[in-house]
Amino acid sequence: MRILQGKAAEAYVRSIEHRGSRLDEIEPAVRKIVEDVRRNGDGALSKYARKFDGLGANLGLRVDESEMRSTWKAAPKELRAALQVAEKNIRRFCEWQKPKEWRRSANGAMLGQLVRALDSAGSYVPGGRFPLVSTLLMTVIPAQVAGVKNIRVVSPRPSREVLAAAGMLGVTEFYRVGGAQAIAALAYGTQTIPRVDKIVGPGNLYVTAAKKLVSFDCAIDMLAGPTEGMIISDNGDPAFIAADLLAQAEHDPETLVTFVTTSKQLADKVSHEVENGGRGRPPLQSNAIAAQAIASRGAILIAASKAQAFEWANRIAPEHITVGKDALPLVQNAGSVFVGNYSAQAAGDYASGPNHVLPTAGAARFRGGLSVMDFVKLITVQDLSSQGLTRIAKSIVTLAETEGLKAHADSIRVRCARA
Q: Is 389:415 a contact under the CB 8 Å cutoff?
A: yes
Determine the Cα–Cα distance for residues 232 and 310; give it in Å rounded to an integer. 8
Rg, Å, the chain Cα set: 25
Q: Pairing state of beta strands 109-117 and 376-384?
A: antiparallel
Neighbours of 54 (CB within 10 A): 12
Q: What is the 3-state secondary structure (H, E, C) of 258-319?
A: EEEECCHHHHHHHHHHHHHCCCCCCCHHHCHHHHHHHHHHCEEEECCCHHHHHHHHHHHCCC
Q: Is 109:385 a contact under the CB 8 Å cutoff?
A: yes
In three-state secondary structure terms, 94 is helix
How many alpha carbons lie under 13 Å from residue 30 in its C-beta half-sphere? 23
> Which entry of 161, 173, 273, 320 is annotated as an active-site residue?
320
Residues 6+ apart with CB under 8 A from 372: 94, 97, 98, 99, 142, 145, 146
User: Quick one: DSSP state of residue 176?
Assistant: S
Residues 6+ apart with CB under 8 A from 308: none
Q: Is 228:319 a contact under the CB 8 Å cutoff?
A: yes
Is there a catalytic annotation at residue 319?
yes
Q: What is the 3-state secondary structure (H, E, C) of 381-404?
A: EEEECHHHHHHHHHHHHHHHHHCC
| Residue of 61, 64, 72 whose CA lies nearest to 167 | 72
Determine the Cα–Cα distance for residues 167 and 128; give it in Å rounded to an integer. 21
Q: Pairing state of beta strands 320-323 and 102-106?
A: unpaired
Neighbours of 81 (CB within 10 A): 11
> Which entry of 228, 250, 319, 356 is annotated as an active-site residue?
319
Determine the Cα–Cα distance for residues 57 and 68; give it in Å rounded to an integer. 20
Is there a catalytic annotation at residue 18?
no
Q: Which residues are catalytic?
A: 319-320
